[in-house]
């Protein structure tokens, strides 16, 4: 990163300096072109003037040199001998310019041009020479600019420019590099979890950081969900094994008693057989509930058919009627509601809730199945559920009375099955209870499955 910035930095400076130099060269080229045009015009004009004597030539040279911008005018003979010089008014100076390229060209009748450094003026000079009369040449010279001054000026300008650029860019690059390093450090700390607040980091990274934070949150949630599911599965296996082991142990025990002839009388043998039947029946009940629960959790609940709940409630009440009558419990159904669901699922909900209400009911009490649009309530005036227990009753294998020997004891899966079905339709199930006075289970369905 640092190296790249350095590269950009030096390239920037080089380009700027090159541009400055190109601008200076362009300005110089324009100046030279102007001067050349001017000298050409002067040469052409001079050839039209009448030239008589040396004195006239000196005057003429002086008057040409007086023009603006000031020139140096030199009249020479073809041999190169100077006969009039605006910078040297003494004629016949005896100086020869026979080898200068512009003079040689002028001798051949052309307009000679040369561009060289003159030691005398200490500057870069443009020379132009041409024939103005037979045997007479005129050379005009003009210091295009005073080289030393020019170089000094532009050199100083470039140096200042370089320094300013150097300062500016260095400061900017240093600031940028520092910012970048700090930002990267903050990002690293955020990812390492050393800081949790993405707001503290620079705004330009916000969208990416928000997205990283969102993804890591999702990953964490997914991981927790997987762990929770694994734990639930482990609990489920442990509970199911426990539920099955108890009746199986009893079955084995009674079977062994029979085999070893420990049940002597026919009554004792009858008792052993009854126990084996009831315990194996219990095992079957647990297995059936496990299968039902697993189906209820896997199933996708969707039905096109809108059904009436009332007939199903009456059917459930009828099936549970004999048991309820034994305890003097009265089951009643009031109202009706419609729901888009499979009859079997609604029956399962009603049957389980009503069965619980009867099993945990009081002798001579009541069970009411109340149906209203969008909701079903199953009310009883039974034993109720203590407040510390009510939060657990929908858990798998949870029983308020841990001793499975309780006369009302079920598998502890009924409410889990009901909840799985209700959830499958997008509904909710809630329980309200007053310990010792009764319980109300309320099932509500979402609008999508209602008329």
Q: CA 230 to CA 214: how far, in whole Å?
A: 24
| E strand intervals along 230-320 | 306-308
Closest CA to 136 of 64, 51, 59: 51
Closest CA to 349 of 330, 322, 335, 369: 369
* Residue ranges binding ligand ADP (CB under 6 A): 356-357, 360, 380, 382-385, 393, 398-401, 409-416, 439
Closest approach, Cβ 286 to ligand ADP, in A, equals 10
Q: Given the complex with ligand ADP, which of 82 and 383 has the nearer CB atom? A: 383
Closest approach, Cβ 414 to ligand ADP, in A, equals 3
* Burial tier of 22 (Cβ tally within 10 Å: 0-12, 13-18, 19+): exposed
Strand 330-335 and strand 366-372: pairing? Answer: parallel
Q: Given the complex with ligand ADP, which of 126 and 378 has the nearer CB atom? A: 378
Beta bridge partners of 370: 334, 377
Q: Given the complex with ligand ADP, which of 37 and 434 has the nearer CB atom? A: 434
State the residue number with the nearest CB to ligand ADP: 410
Q: Which spans in 72-146 are helix H? A: 101-107
Instruction: Provide DSSP, 370-421.
Output: EEETTEEEEEE-SS---HHHHTTTTSTT--SS--TTSTT---S-HHHHHHHH
As given in the structure block, the two tokens for residue 323 are 């048991």
Closest approach, Cβ 324 to ligand ADP, in A, equals 13
Closest approach, Cβ 344 to ligand ADP, in A, equals 18
Are 58 and 84 a contacting pair, CB within 8 Å? yes
Closest approach, Cβ 262 to ligand ADP, in A, equals 33
Q: Given the complex with ligand ADP, which of 61 and 400 has the nearer CB atom? A: 400
**Which 3 state secondary structure label does DSSP give 198?**
helix
Q: Given the complex with ligand ADP, which of 57 and 383 has the nearer CB atom? A: 383
Beta bridge partners of 121: none
Closest approach, Cβ 287 to ligand ADP, in A, equals 14
Closest approach, Cβ 398 to ligand ADP, in A, equals 6
Are 128 and 57 a contacting pair, CB within 8 Å? no
Q: Given the complex with ligand ADP, which of 369 and 413 has the nearer CB atom? A: 413
Q: Given the complex with ligand ADP, which of 220 and 295 has the nearer CB atom? A: 295
Closest CA to 76 of 93, 64, 63: 93
């Amino acid at each position: 990163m640092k190296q790249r910035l350095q590269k950009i930095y030096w390239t920037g400076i080089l380009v700027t300096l090159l541009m400055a130099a190109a601008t200076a060269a362009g300005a110089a080229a324009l100046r030279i072109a102007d001067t050349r045009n001017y000298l050409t015009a002067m040469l052409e004009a001079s050839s039209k003037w009448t030239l008589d004597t040396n004195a006239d030539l000196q005057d003429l040279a002086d008057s040409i040199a007086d023009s603006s911008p000031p020139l140096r005018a030199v009249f020479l003979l073809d041999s190169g001998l100077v006969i009039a010089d605006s910078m040297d008014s003494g004629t016949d100076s005896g100086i020869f310019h026979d080898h200068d390229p512009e003079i040689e060209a002028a001798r051949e009748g052309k307009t000679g041009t040369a561009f060289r450094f003159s030691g005398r003026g200490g500057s870069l000079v443009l020379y132009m020479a041409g024939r103005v009369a037979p045997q007479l040449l005129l050379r005009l010279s003009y210091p295009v600019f005073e080289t030393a001054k020019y170089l000094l000026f532009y050199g100083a300008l470039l140096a200042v420019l370089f320094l300013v650029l150097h300062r500016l860019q260095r400061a900017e690059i240093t600031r940028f590099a520092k910012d970048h390093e700090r930002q990267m450090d903050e990002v690293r700390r955020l990812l390492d979890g050393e800081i949790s607040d993405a707001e503290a980091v620079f705004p330009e990274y916000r969208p990416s950081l928000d997205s990283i934070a969102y993804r890591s949150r999702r990953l964490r949630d997914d991981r927790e969900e997987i762990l929770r599911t694994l734990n639930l599965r482990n609990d489920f296996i442990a509970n199911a094994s426990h539920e099955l082991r108890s009746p199986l142990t009893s079955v084995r025990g009674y079977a062994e008693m029979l085999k070893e002839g420990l049940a002597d009388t026919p009554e004792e043998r009858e008792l052993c057989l009854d126990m084996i039947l009831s315990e194996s029946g219990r095992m079957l009940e647990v297995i059936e509930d496990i299968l039902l629960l697993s189906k209820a959790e896997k199933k996708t609940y969707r039905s096109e058919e809108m059904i009436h709940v009332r007939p199903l409630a009456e059917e459930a009440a009828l099936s549970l009627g004999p048991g309820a009558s034994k305890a003097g419990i009265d089951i009643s159904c009031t109202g009706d509601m419609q729901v888009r669901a499979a009859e079997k699922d609604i029956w399962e909900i009603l049957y389980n809730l009503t069965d619980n209400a009867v099993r945990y009911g009081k002798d001579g009490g009541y069970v009411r199945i109340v149906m209203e649009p969008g909701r079903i309530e199953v009310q009883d005036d039974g034993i109720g559920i203590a407040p510390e227990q009510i939060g657990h009753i929908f858990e798998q294998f949870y029983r308020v009375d841990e001793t499975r020997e309780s006369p009302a004891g079920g598998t502890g899966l009924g409410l889990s099955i009901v909840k799985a079905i209700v959830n499958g339709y997008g509904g909710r199930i809630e329980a309200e209870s007053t310990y010792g006075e009764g319980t109300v289970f309320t099932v509500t369905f979402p609008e999508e499955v209602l008329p």
